């Protein structure tokens, strides 16, 4: 099935491919209509979590959030003119509830929902419509009786007017991109949540200014959340693995670089600063 949607079969064309926000990665655009049936077709995420646990690693499964999944989809060929895939949100959410329950049963303590659509201004849906959809979705997912703790991440830009919606939602943590966006204003509901400050740039290969990053984390602390954690601004899929693998680079250039391993070291240093002081 994966191969067919990517490459097509006979007269059945493959799905359209387009860029994942402002990265050089691409995704296959889902086609959704009123006739689309949503179901949990694979237990891959649960099996991968169990595999990590069996090897002694505690992982946090990362899932594309329901709002982003629908907002990045397009209407199927059979859909009526003007159909908006986001209108199927209420039909999609039970599948997410089922997946959260399965991950909880497998021992997952946290799950991360990536919702970058909430910060995009290039999608057909307005920010107001996306914000409303996020509030409705998180009310259902946060209210599920069997679920891990939920972290909602919205990388690639400033959360802006959507931040108060996430602050009020029944979730445990919010990750904000503080490289592409600024420290948000205080909002109701933060008292019981952890704010994850994305202060290490996950989108490029350069070393960051840790002193400035720590200043930003301290500003985030001032919002009154239950806790503040340090993180990268985006997933580290955007950068190579380890600078030490590059044995032929000029040493002067190496001193400027930070790949995935080095950025993790920066996050660890900032976390120690939050725990022990600057």
pLDDT in tens, 97-108: 999 999 999 999
Residue 255 DSSP symbol: T
Quote the CA–CA distance of 227 and 195 in Å, as a whole number. 6
pLDDT in tens, 111-161: 999 999 999 888 888 999 999 999 999 999 999 999 999 999 999 999 999
Beta bridge partners of 56: none
DSSP for 65-109, please give it: -HHHHHHT-EE-TTSPTT--GGGGHHHHHHHHHHHHHHHHHTT-S
Quote the CA–CA distance of 187 and 185 in Å, as a whole number. 6
Beta bridge partners of 206: 257
pLDDT for the residue numbered 22: 83
Beta bridge partners of 111: 150
Q: Encoding tokens for residue 14?
A: 């493959």
pTM of the model: 0.94
Residue 9 DSSP symbol: B
Q: Strand pairing of 26-28 and 17-19?
A: antiparallel
CA 171 to chain centre: 14
Quote the CA–CA distance of 13 and 8 in Å, as a whole number. 5
pLDDT for the residue numbered 155: 94
Residue 165 pLDDT grade (very low, low, confident, very high; cuts 50, 70, 90): very high
């Amino acid at each position: 099935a994966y191969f067919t949607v990517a490459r097509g079969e006979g007269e059945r064309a493959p799905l359209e491919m387009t860029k994942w926000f402002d990265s050089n990665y691409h995704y296959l655009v889902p086609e959704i209509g009123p006739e689309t049936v949503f179901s949990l077709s694979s237990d891959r995420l649960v099996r991968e979590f169990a595999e990590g646990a069996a090897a002694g690693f505690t992982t946090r499964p990362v899932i594309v959030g329901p709002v982003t999944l629908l907002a990045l989809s397009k209407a199927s060929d059979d859909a009526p003119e003007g159909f908006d895939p986001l209108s199927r949100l209420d039909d999609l959410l039970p599948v997410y509830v089922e997946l959260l329950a399965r991950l909880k049963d497998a021992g997952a303590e946290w799950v991360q929902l990536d919702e970058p659509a909430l910060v995009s201004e290039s999608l057909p849906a307005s920010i107001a419509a996306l914000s409303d959809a996020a509030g409705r979705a998180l009310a259902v997912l946060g209210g599920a009786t069997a679920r891990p703790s939920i972290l909602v991440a919205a990388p690639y830009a400033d959360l802006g007017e959507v931040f108060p919606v996430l602050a009020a939602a029944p979730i445990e943590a919010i990750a904000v991109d503080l490289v592409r966006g600024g420290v948000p204003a205080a909002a109701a509901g933060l008292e019981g949540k952890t704010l994850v400050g994305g202060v290490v740039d996950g989108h490029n290969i350069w070393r960051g200014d840790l002193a400035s990053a720590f200043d930003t984390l301290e500003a985030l602390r001032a919002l009154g959340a239950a806790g503040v954690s340090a993180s990268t601004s985006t997933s580290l899929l955007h950068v190579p693995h380890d600078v030490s693998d590059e044995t032929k680079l000029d040493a002067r250039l190496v001193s400027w670089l930070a790949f995935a391993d080095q950025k993790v070291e920066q996050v660890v240093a900032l976390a120690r600063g939050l725990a022990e002081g600057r």
